[in-house]
Amino acid sequence: MNGIWITVALGACLGLAMTAVWHFGVGSAPTLGSVLDRIDRPLPTATRATEGEWRLRVGRRSRRVLSVWGLPAVDGSDARVAEVDPDLHAASKVVCAVMAPAFVVVTAAVCVLGGVTIPTPVLVVATLAGMAVGFVAPDLTLRRRATERRHEFTVAFGAYLDLVAISLAGGMGTEAALTEAARVGDSWVFHTLRRTIDVAQIDGTTIWEGLRGLGDDLNVPAVIELASSVALAGSEGAKVRNTISVKADGLRTAELAAAESRAQAATERMAIPTAMLLFGFVLLIGFPAVITVLDGL
């Protein structure tokens, strides 16, 4: 009976630990309203979410401590493109890392109450491994989200280049075509492009220099490559239009190839659950026969 209660307690502790890591490191799925609001508003430098002052204080102190040790708390470009506040991200890393030794202590206490003693080296190794995993888990989540956002930006940027090429073919000037094409869309990508163009015009720099700075800031190679290509093409309208058209075609081709690759990968992954289902069916059918043969021996 004690073994059953120990198993139940360990399962409850494991569930609480996984829930805490998921909440602080991964986060819950966004609602439809929040996603629509995010699409309609521009991309801020860093979103200061209403997460509570304690998380902000923990994040700020954690970033200072990590900077002293020479460890980066968060990748700046990933945080900007994913709309993640660096302080909140650092707080998530610390909370996830602290939850690991707490879970190990609770597990050891439950085992001691049940009459089972876990060796100290096992507890130390489990604590260190859990802290390492909890500290890295938010970074992996942020990196995955940033990758998805960069892919979204690249696809929308290809559509933006098509609009610019159409405007240039219609006789519009280069700067006017860039400005008007950015005013067509309402997504966060077009909001970001509009803000970048407006800032470049206010500062007196060229739009391509502003786009190159945006590409460096968000780490989007397509924007950096296009800005460099147009800078080499000069100010002649025909060369600029050809460069933009070629880049837009290249982005479309790359996106089609990536979509086909993802589709093929998804098709291959579907074979795994099908094989597992077949294996379970065969096991279900053959289990009574195997038991009967073994009993007859």
Q: What pLDDT sits at residue 181?
A: 87
Written as one letter, the residue type at 71 is: L
Give the model confidence (pLDDT) of 30-78 as tens digits.
555 555 555 444 444 444 444 456 666 766 777 666 666 666 667 677 7
User: Is pLDDT above 50 for 27?
Assistant: no
Give the model confidence (pLDDT) of 115-134 as tens digits.
777 787 887 888 888 888 88
Q: Which of 76, 132, 81, 83 shows the shortest CA–CA distance to 104? A: 132
Cα–Cα dist 96/137, whole Å = 8
Cα–Cα dist 222/227, whole Å = 9
**173 conformational bin, left if phi > 0, alpha if psi -120 to 50, beta if neither:** beta
User: Is pLDDT above 50 for 18?
Assistant: yes
**212 and 228 in contact (C-beta within 8 Å)?**
yes
Cα–Cα dist 235/239, whole Å = 8
Radius of gyration, alpha carbons of the chain: 27
User: Is pLDDT above 50 for 263?
Assistant: yes
**88 and 63 in contact (C-beta within 8 Å)?**
no
